[in-house]
Structure 1
Amino acid sequence: MEATSSTATHDLEKTQSKGSNVSNSSSTDVQQPYSEPKQGLMRTFFNTFKELEPSKEDADLLKNPDLSEAERREIALKNTPLQRGLKARHLQMIALGGSIGTGLFIGSGSALRTGGAASLSICWTIVGLLAFSTIHALGELTTAYPVSGAFSAHSTKFIEPSFGFAIGWNYAIFWMVVLPAEIIAASLTLQFWNDTINPVAWVTIFYVFVMSINLFGVRGYGEAEYIFTMIKMVAIIGFLILGIVLVCGGGPTHGFVGGMYYRNPGPFTHGFKGVCTVFITAAYSLGGSELIGVTGAEAANPRKTLPSAIKQVFWRIMLFYLGSLTLISLLVSSEDKRLLGTSSADAEASPFVIAINNGGVKVLPSIMNAVILISVLSVGNSAVFGCSRTLASLAAQGLAPKCFNYIDRMGRPIYGIAANGVVGLLCYCVASKHESTVFAWLMSLCGLATVLTWFSICVSHIRFRLAMKVQGRSLDELAFKSQAGFWGSVFCSVILVLVLCLQFWVSLYPIGAEKPDVTNFFQNYLGAFILLGFYVARKLYVRKLWEFTPLNEIKLDAGRSAVDIDLMHQEIAEERALLASKGFLYRTYKFWC
């Protein structure tokens, strides 16, 4: 108390001395009281980029020389100063439609052409089941361990650091490449209305737009995705209603469609190989679903908001993907020439636009094209968010340069955003005549990123459950349990390995090729070798062949969001009691959502 009083007195005397100097400096002017100069808006803005220092407690913890490398990683991840600014409504919208983009609206066209009408329902159903089980496994892990980077951090904790390093960098590179690809897709989408304007102008506008959103921090990302997803949801629900009307012959042409395209040209175009080829397109379209786990570290209350958001993934798969693609398979022929667009981003190659045009409906094709444009920008926005947070997580674990863990006062991993922005400048390749070739090889770097990321999530969940069992821990400790359970993750792991094997086959021997096609193989399978390269490179760097933590030595309480199990059970019991007091319809809604 005496020290505090002395300091305060000294500060007061110093202030009074300053005030005296000010008053004596001018004998003719009216004396004004001394006040600290106010900061202008620009200075205030630039100050937000200063690093947010960790708390003294966190800094003291990390200075402890007795900590192991794994324990340091846990502390650094748990205390990454990201802002918890995402509310329940943000998470729900991100879960429902945050990743709906070119994979669904445009990529489904190439899938229809390659595999046939029936392949859409078959492949998206199987991949949808994989996504459902994987996201539930991720939800269980993220609710228990809401750390920066989610699955890359979980891979490091439950599998080994080298595997977490490889998965994290593979995922970061995936989003780095997606950003310029989506910006180019947005610029080409506008050619649906006007193809006389140089696409470089649109690329510049969209690049500045996407990067600006992420400079507003996590709240900017959340609000943007909330608006984007609302528009996408309304558009897809409207398309579902319109599609049913058109199939039944209620459109302007009054022609009953039914299942005529299943009879001619038939349900499959290239047999079993065509169906196998569609699998990766389906996985790409559902890629980004795992972003709901990345948002866990920036959710206001992960234990309450994440489970509800995770459950809504089921409805996105069933309603938005399977529902709309089933109607597409009925309304558009797999032999339609318009599906053979010169660019994968060509809006006129979208089966959604083709279906509406076939029905003779005016104006709506332009509206759907506008929705495609918004969806493309939404995925670009998610790309910057996903990449920067993954890089921050890797840096916190010591698996990336420390600069990427620089979090500013607004909670932005600014160096990660900057790195994504630099790679995003590749969008100006749109001005080159070799643009399609450049991006074919860029996308090859991460063509299997979704499959490999889902595999890492499932394996992490399997080892988490096994560690719980070996250490005699009860599943009642978990605030959220995967509805697919342990065996759901086992099933997913097996099927994903099978998908990788089938993709190896169709990449080496593509449709119509009698001999191995080396170029096609590396354009479709290079991502697996990139992952293997990262894994081996770190092994050689650390010179540790075996880094797997035995199940009985995995520190299950380190990094947990709710270590006080009794308090958590009390909160859950109170929530269940409150739910039991509600009506039947509300209880049913909360069960599914």
Structure 2
Amino acid sequence: MSSDPLERSDDNRLQRRLHSRHLTMIAIGGAIGTGLFLASGKTISQAGPGGAIVAYGLIGLMVFLLMQSLGEMSTYLPVAGSFGEYGTRFISPSFGFAAGWNFWFNWAITVAAELAAAALVMKFWFPHTPGWMWSAIFLTLLVLLNALSARAYGEGEFWFALIKVVTVVVFLVLGVLIIFGIIGGKSPGFENWTKGEAPFVDGGLGILAIFMVAGFSFQGTELVAVAAGETENPEQTVPKAIRTIFWRILLFYIGTIAVIGFLVSYTDPNLLRNDETDVAYSPFTLVFDRAGIAAAASVINAVILTSILSAGNSGLYASTRMLYALSRQGNAPAFLGRTNSRGVPAPALAVTAAIGAACFVSSLIGDGAAYTWLVSASGLAGFITWMGVAWSHYKFRKAFLAQGHSLDELPYRAKWYPAGPLLAMAMCAIVIVGQSYEAFDAKEGLDVTTLLSSYIGLPLFLGVWAFHKIATRSPKVKSVDADLSRTPSDVRESEEALGG
């Protein structure tokens, strides 16, 4: 019998109400955020424009491979709890259990982090208003969007993401006009690409440092697989989104880095002093100022606020769907697997929102140390999810062929298998292992606190995996025994997509 959360014969099922435009914007919105609007300047100051482009290009390749893997699995098996479900079906029930809870934890903590960030952003306009008040208002807004329906979440995310996309496009157009000297005075030419150590600052170590930052910036693209469980005709809409998302995101990131590299020197003090909280030193603000746009800082601050709300909106949606799926699989309390008349898993939404709020409150207590450790623990969760995606895809394809299926049956086929998922796993491992090399400072010595806080998420994941393994003694899944069953609607939609 299939464990597909969408296959049960009761009324507690999600409803397919998301369209292709929602799916595309959900993935784009998940990848374009404060990492691009604020941290992009800091990456250039560390590695130079050339180093930053190389690092983001490599991470872009890794994301492309992961999206290929996700595309193949999520079009064949479009389920809400995809990451846990794929791990359970193709690797082992224990791995799927750990992967599901890891994904839920990551995005539930992200909701708390975005609430804290939103409060900081609002201080730009209302410095004397208590930050917790804004956090409470935004949490209420996000809960309402998610409580109405999947369509309401999709519409909210569509418009949040559209604001970001328009801002990036305007930035790129203005940047090109400034580069060619059409506006903003004399053209800078290639001066900033040859000054000092540019274009590659600090050699390979500089690229390695930006490699980690770039990896975190791209997290969120995997949400397309979560949304596939509530998308109309996933066998058609998911491949379409997969094909376009990667190139658009890569264009935005590489284009932005290139424009900043032409217009702002990596030694510019405004980049060096950027601490990811002061919008006045965002490279977007600096370029808009140069283009003569009035109140550039306010404009960018407003865009950053939409980015934060977008991330919080997606975080609440993704973690709610994963908690729902965990319940349907028997890995969480049964009441969390119920939905209301609109197909929204309301109990899972309420619990996730409460956890996010509780984590946010922990940031207000004492010195906020508990909250800092929670955020640090979730830092690696995204890369663990990505490794799980690549591993699951490697096992999925082996099981698919071992059980006598033909690749022609796949609605979407990933390129470069098996090299693709194996390379993606290796690159994720490099990011995980190397993310805190700065803790090993030759002059200052080993920073144990930084090291522990950076890697605490890994032993937590392995601990949950081991606990379930010991408690259930569940074996790993053999290729010939893997569950490839689909719902009748999945099969029908797939046949239509293939022209059958």
* TM-score, normalised with respect to structure 1: 0.78
The one-letter code of the counterpart of 1:555 is: D
Contact 1:95 1:312 in 2 (8 A): no
1:242 matched to 2:174: yes
Question: Pick from 389, 392, 395: which aligns with 1:463?
Answer: 395
Query: Is the 8 Å Cα contact of residues 97 and 316 (structure 1) preserved in structure 2?
Result: no
Q: Which amino acid aligns with 1:472?
A: G
Aligned to 2:367: 434
Could you tell me which of 243, 252, 262 is aligned with 1:330?
262
Counterpart-to-counterpart distance in 2, 1:560 and 1:332: 56
Cα drift, residue 77 of structure 1:
4.7
Closer/same/farther in 2, CA of residues 214 and 345 from structure 1, 3 Å limit: farther
The structure-2 alpha-carbon separation of the partners of 1:427 and 1:344, relative to structure 1 and needing over 3 Å to count, comes to farther
Give the paired residue count: 496
The verdict on how the C-alpha distance between 1:204 and 1:167 changes in structure 2, with shifts beyond 3 A counting, is same
Q: Which residue of 2 aligns with 1:509?
A: 440
Aligned residue runs from structure 1 range 403-418, under 5 A: 403-418=335-350
**Which runs of structure 2 are paired with 1:265-276 in the superposition (5 Å)?**
266-276=198-208
- Give, in angstroms, the shift of residue 310 of structure 1: 1.3
Alpha carbons 2:48, 2:200 under 8 Å: kept: yes
The correspondence for 1:518, drawn from 440, 448, 461, is 448
Q: 1:499 to 1:342 in 2, by over 3 A?
A: closer
Whether contact under 8 Å (1:296, 1:306) holds in the other structure is: yes
Cα distance, 1:519 vs structure 2: 1.0
8 Å CA contact 2:119, 2:131 repeated in 1: yes
CA-to-aligned-CA distance 1:179-212 (integer Å, 9 cap, x gap): 1211222222233344333323322222221222
The structure number with the bigger radius of gyration is 1
Aligned pair partner of 1:424 in 342, 350, 356? 356
Q: Distance in 1 between matches of 2:142 and 2:325?
A: 22
How far apart, in 1, do the equivalents of 2:329 and 2:276 lie? 37
Structure 1 segment 213-232 matched on structure 2, within 5 A: 213-232=145-164
**2:218 — aligned with what?**
286
Q: Is the contact between residue 145 and residue 560 of structure 1 (CA under 8 Å) also seen in structure 2? A: no
Could you tell me how far 1:551 is from its partner in structure 2?
Answer: 0.8
SS class of match (2:253): helix
Q: Does 1:118 align with 2:50?
A: yes
Residue in structure 2 matched with residue 78 of structure 1 by the alignment: 7
Residue 104 of structure 2 is aligned to residue 172 of structure 1: yes
Pick closer, same or farther for the CA change 1:182–1:350 going to 2, 3 Å.
farther
Structure 2 CA distance for partners of 1:337 and 1:311, relative to 1, 3 Å: same
Shift of residue 355, structure 1, vs aligned partner: 3.2
Q: Is contact 1:406–1:413 with CA below 8 Å preserved after alignment? A: yes
Instruction: Identify the match of residue 554 of structure 1 among 482, 487, 490.
Output: 482
What is the rounded CA distance, in whole Å, between the counterparts of 1:364 and 1:250 in structure 2? 19
Change (3 A) 1:484 1:262: farther
1:121, CA displacement in angstroms? 0.8
Give 1:433 shift: 7.5
Q: What's the Cα RMSD here?
A: 2.5
What is the SS of the residue equivalent to 1:116?
helix
Counterpart of 1:500 (choices 432, 443, 446) is 432
Q: CA deviation at 1:514?
A: 4.8
* Contact kept? 1:407, 1:414, Cα under 8 Å: yes
Aligned mates of 1:439, 1:349 — CA distance in 2: 26
Structure 1 residues 198 and 478: alpha-carbon distance in aligned structure 2, compared to 1, 3 A threshold: same
Say if 1:109 and 1:339, in contact at 8 Å, map to a contact too: yes
For 2:471 and 2:438, the matched residues in 1 are separated by: 32
Structure-2 change in CA distance of 1:484 and 1:97 (3 Å)? farther
Structure 2 counterpart SS, 1:547: coil
In structure 2, what is the Cα distance between the partners aligned to 1:253 and 1:133? 42
What residue number does 1:367 align with? 299
Which residue does 1:47 correspond to in 2?
A: none
Q: Equivalents in 1 of 2:175, 2:233: separation in Å? A: 39
Shift of 1:524: 1.7
Does the CA contact (< 8 Å) of 1:185 and 1:346 recur in 2?
Answer: no
Question: What is the TM-score with the length of structure 2 in the denominator?
Answer: 0.91
Distance 1:439 1:462 in 2: 36
Are 1:133 and 2:133 an aligned pair?
A: no
2:196 to 242, 264, 270: 264
Structure 2, unpaired ranges of 5+: none
Give the 3 Å change call, closer, same or farther, for CA 496–509 of structure 1 in structure 2. Answer: same
In the alignment, which residue of structure 2 is the partner of 1:583? none
Closer, same or farther: CA 196–220 of 1 in aligned 2, 3 Å: same
Q: Which of 446, 467, 490 is the equivalent residue of 1:537?
A: 467
1:96 alignment counterpart: 28
1:254 is matched with which residue: 186, 194, 200?
186
Shift of 1:154: 0.5
Q: Pick closer, same or farther for the CA change 1:269–1:419 going to 2, 3 Å.
A: farther
Tell me the amino acid that sits aligned with residue 554 of structure 1.
A
Distance verdict in 2 for CA 1:521–1:116, change over 3 Å: farther
Q: 1:411-449 CA distances to partner (integer Å, 9 max, x unpaired)?
A: 1222221222123224356656735x5543222111112
Counterpart residue number, 1:572:
498
The answer as to whether partners of 2:192 and 2:265 remain within 8 angstroms in 1 is no
> Are the counterparts in 2 of residues 253 and 360 from structure 1 also a CA contact under 8 Å?
no
Aligned equivalents of 2:313 and 2:245: distance in 1? Answer: 20
Contact 2:29 2:310 survives alignment (8 Å): no
Shift of 1:301: 1.4
Corresponding position: 1:478 with 2:404: no
Q: Indicate whether 1:154 and 2:154 are aligned.
A: no
Match of 2:445, SS state, is: coil
- Pick closer, same or farther for the CA change 1:245–1:555 going to 2, 3 Å: same
CA distance in 2, matches of 1:460, 1:258: 45
